[in-house]
Structure 1
Amino acid sequence: MTAQPHGSEPIIPRPERTVGALRVALAQVAPYRIAEFEAQKDQAFDQAAEQGSVSPVQMFLLAWLRDIEIERHPATATRYRNAVHAAQVLDRDDPDWRPAMDEVSRILGEAMQAVRD
């Protein structure tokens, strides 16, 4: 069994590592991000062609697997959005800024570990 970000049960199964599967999953958990997904996909494929390497496409897929992993768990997604918001609006001298950044890092790390297992 793979590790999951804590906080909630997944609302959809983890998608396969394909553009089509990621698009379908994203449409279910965060449809407002489809345009961002498509723009990054185009950029990754352009970079892959320019570089003669599949690395940009692999990184694109992994980043979106991670983001969808977070969104599959509603409580985790809420914690993540709250932490990102706090990190963006708080001054770095605010004592709540570091815990917010730590939460962002922790959630991203847990999600990345889950999709790499």
Structure 2
Amino acid sequence: MSLQHTEPVGDHPLVPRPECTPGALRAACAVVAPHLLGAYDRDKDQALADAVDHGSIAPVHAYLHHWAALIEIERHPLTSRAYHRAEYLARVTTEPDESRVHLAEASDIYRAASRAVRPE
């Protein structure tokens, strides 16, 4: 009996891009980044509370778009690795210029993901 190699090759998405709904984003998060489910649920609860407090659904739209971008990053293994590496290095470096370089890299990745999931 031979075992098949199931690890992704390259940066192909692990799951299809989910719809920008709370349920679809949570389901995708459970697959590509289960360690983030607690943060996802807290952010959703906070967005709903903010929507009620402000009488506006803008906080819900912001939360959905933010998590759609994060899931977009996590769907792609190499992109996710680069994003988390840049965030980590920005936190641990003691040199401000080096930290800025890593923060810029993480920001570029996030902005690209945000553009990719922006409704047309």
Give the TM-score of the pair, scaled to structure 1: 0.89
Alignment gaps of 5+ in structure 1 = 1-6
C-alpha deviation, 1:111, in angstroms: 0.4
After superposition, residues 1-117 of structure 1 pair within 5 angstroms as 8-93=11-96, 95-116=97-118, 117=120
Q: Which residue of 2 aligns with 1:3?
A: none
Give the TM-score of the pair, scaled to structure 2: 0.87
| Aligned residue type for 1:30 | A
Higher gyration radius (CA):
2
Alignment gaps of 5+ in structure 2 = 1-9
C-alpha deviation, 1:105, in angstroms: 1.2
Q: Structure 2: how far apart are the matches of 1:114 and 1:20?
A: 20
Q: Structure 1: how far apart are the matches of 2:45 and 2:39?
A: 10
2:14 alignment partner, SS class: coil
Give me the CA root mean square deviation: 1.3
Stretch of structure 1 that moved more, 99-108 or 38-47:
99-108
* Larger RCO of the pair (alpha carbons < 8 Å, separation 6+): 1
C-alpha deviation, 1:102, in angstroms: 1.7
C-alpha deviation, 1:98, in angstroms: 2.8
Stretch of structure 1 that moved more, 72-81 or 98-107:
98-107
Q: Structure 1: how far apart are the matches of 2:95 and 2:74?
A: 27
**How big is each residue's C-alpha offset from its partner over 1:51-108, in whole Å with a ceiling of 9 and x where there is no partner?**
1100000000000000000000000000001000000011243x53232122111101
